[in-house]
Chain A
Amino acid sequence: MDPTQPPPRSERTHPDFATFVAARQQALQRYAYLVIGDVALAEDLVQEALAKTYARWGRVRDQGNPEAYVRRAITTTAISWSRRRGFRGEVPTERLPEGHGHEASTVQADPGDGVSDAAALGHALRRLPPRQRAAVVLRFYEDLSEAQTAEVLGCAVGTVKSQVSAALTRLRLDPDLPDLQVVIR
Chain B
Amino acid sequence: MSPRDLSDLLRHEAEQPHFRPVDLDATVSRGIRLRRRRVAVATTSLVAVAAVVTTLVLGVTGDRSPRAVEPAGGDDGASSSVPLTWAQDGVIHVGSRQIRPAHGVVVFLQVDDRLIVQGTDRKVREVSTDGDERILDPSAPAAASDLHPRLLTDGRWVGWSTGGVGGAVEAHFVRLDGGAEPRAMVLPESPWRDRSALAAMDDGIAYLQLQNGVGTLRLDDPSTQQVDLALSTGRTGEVVAVHGDTVLRYADELRVGTLRDSGSPLLVDGRPLEVGRGVLSPGGSAYAPDAEHLTVVGLDGTDRSPDAGSRYAYFSTAYQWLDGDHVAAIALESEQGPSALLTCGLDEGTCRTEVRLDTTDGLVLPVGDQIG
Contact = CB atoms under 8 A, between A and B. Distances in A.
A70 B277 CA distance: 28
B160 to A, nearest CB: 15
Given A114-B4, A180-B6, A95 B193 contact: yes
Contacts of A149: none
Interface string A148-179: 00000000000000000000100100000111
B63 interface: no
B30 A51 contact: yes
Interface string B29-57: 11110110010000000000000000000
- Find the residue from B16, B23, B26, B209 having the highest chain A CB count within 10 A: B16
A68 interface: no
Nearest to B16: A107
Interface string A85-106: 0111111011111111010010
B118 interface: no
Contacts of A57: 31
A117 B4 contact: yes
Nearest to B4: A117
Interface string A14-34: 100110010001100111011
Contacts of A25: 19, 21-22
A8 B24 contact: yes
A107 B17 CA distance: 6
A69 interface: no
Contact of A181 (B3, B21, B31): B3
Chain B contact residues, majority secondary structure: loop
A100 B254 CA distance: 11
B28 interface: yes
Given A99-B251, A121-B6, A10 B27 contact: yes
B370 A118 contact: no
Interface residues of A, number: 77
A118 B12 contact: yes
Contact of A26 (B7, B19, B236): B19
Contacts of A13: 28
Chain A contact residues, majority secondary structure: helix
A26 B17 CA distance: 10
Contacts of A114: 4, 8-9, 12
Contacts of A56: 35
A115 B12 contact: yes
Nearest to B372: A86
Contact of A93 (B192, B335, B369, B372): B192
A143 B7 CA distance: 8
A113 B372 CA distance: 38
A183 interface: yes
B31 A43 contact: no
Interface string A104-147: 01010110011111111110010000000000110011010000
A83 to B, nearest CB: 8
Contacts of A181: 3-6
Contacts of B34: 51-52, 54-55
A160 to B, nearest CB: 16
A14 to B, nearest CB: 8
A87 B252 CA distance: 17
A21 B27 contact: yes
Contacts of B347: none
A55 B69 CA distance: 34
A74 interface: no
Given A8-B24, A30-B14, A179-B1, A88 B238 contact: no
B6 A183 contact: yes
A1 interface: no
A9 B26 CA distance: 9
B10 A140 contact: yes
Contacts of B194: 91, 93
30 contacts: A9-B28, A25-B22, A33-B13, A33-B19, A42-B19, A47-B23, A51-B28, A54-B35, A83-B372, A87-B277, A87-B372, A88-B290, A89-B369, A95-B193, A96-B192, A99-B237, A102-B252, A105-B17, A109-B16, A110-B16, A119-B16, A122-B16, A125-B13, A136-B6, A137-B10, A140-B6, A141-B11, A171-B6, A179-B1, A181-B3
Task: Give 9 nearest A-B pairs by CB, closest first.
Answer: A54-B31, A118-B12, A51-B30, A118-B13, A86-B372, A89-B370, A30-B14, A55-B34, A55-B35
